[in-house]
Amino acid sequence: MNPAAVHSLRRFALSVPDLGQAEHFYRCFGLDVVPLERGGLSVRTAAHGREVARMHHGPRKTLHHLSFGAFAGDVDRIAAQALEAGARELESPAEGEPGRWFVDPDGRLFHVTEDENRSPKGRSTEELIVHVGPNAAPERNLEVRPRRLGHVMLLTADAGRTANFYVRALGLRLSDATEGIVSFLHHPHGSDHHVLAFVQSSGPAAFHHASFEVPTVDAVGIGANRMAEHGYKQGWGLGRHYAGSNFFHYVRDPWGSFVEYFCDMDYIPAGTPWEPRKVAPENSLSSWGPDVPDYFLVNSEA
């Protein structure tokens, strides 16, 4: 029997020292921000109002938790796999929210719950070329509103070992990897090339970036311009990743981690046999793009 598997990454949650700063940053990025009843912020997509992140108040920026969605009948099987893989189960820290909560062997908190929403249903290429012919370029004031959370990348002491835990626990599958550097994971129900990725780093288990899909390369570029106009000038892009094929631009957040605008990521349909590639180190960060800034792979939680 195949392992049971999650079908989506629902949200990530961070602890941050200044919620006002978090609200400003994510609003400028193109997401909606509303207060949570018990304190903290809920970050949502404008189009669907779907929660993609939570911000909690804490002394410094750290990953608070990840939340994954699964089909109704799969949650208990996934929970059993997580325990078997070495997770520890916790009482729910979010009162009233269904689902089961675990701590992974490195101390990261994660949540698995039944969720009927899952996306995407396929590769979203139809809008990549918005206009054909003359006058194809958009105006500078194009509105950029990320439409969904794509993936999260975390820093970890051993990318292969941590990826293997999430393969066993959540039924994720290895997409591509560069040994000793980075591992990319997808789920088997029809998935982006990666919904979760681990990059190797000395220092504590930490949050590196969250990535949001926008419809076009123009939106990636104009989003980056807009963030710079709001004072968020540091980052990396425009470029194209080799693993996943997506176009990207990263914007550095106020705490030294990043958000990424992406479009046109490889999609792995359900039932596709997939052979993980061993990606050469020179391709592990990008296929093309500007030089990687020296602060990009710094562990901002060390």
Query: Which of 260, 263, 267, 285 lies at the binding interface for Fe ion (CB under 5 A)?
Result: 260
- The smaller minimum CB distance to Fe ion, of residues 100 and 193, is found at 193
Establish if 74 lies at the interface with Fe ion (CB under 5 A): no
- Judged by beta carbon, residue 130 or residue 238, the one nearer Fe ion is 238
Question: Any contact of residue 211 with Fe ion (CB under 5 A)?
Answer: yes
Q: To the nearest whole angstrom, how small is the minimum distance from the Cβ of residue 262 to Fe ion? A: 6
Least distance in Å: CB of 265 to Fe ion? Answer: 9
What's phi and psi for 73, nearest 5 deg? Answer: -75, -5
- Cβ nearer to Fe ion, comparing 232 with 258: 258
Q: How far is CA 140 from CA 47, 130, 131, 224, in A?
A: 21, 15, 15, 12
Considering only the stretches 78-86, 117-125, 208-216, 221-229, report the one whose residues sit in contact with Fe ion under the rule CB under 5 A.
208-216
Closer residue to Fe ion (CB): 45 or 81:
45
Number of residues that bind Fe ion (CB under 5 A): 2
CB-nearer residue toward Fe ion: 119 or 211? 211
Instruction: Please tell me whether residue 62 binds Fe ion under the rule CB under 5 A.
Output: no
Burial class (CB in 10 A: 0-12, 13-18, 19+), 272: exposed
Smallest gap from Cβ 162 to Fe ion, in A, equals 16
What residue ranges bind Fe ion (CB under 5 A)?
A: 211, 260
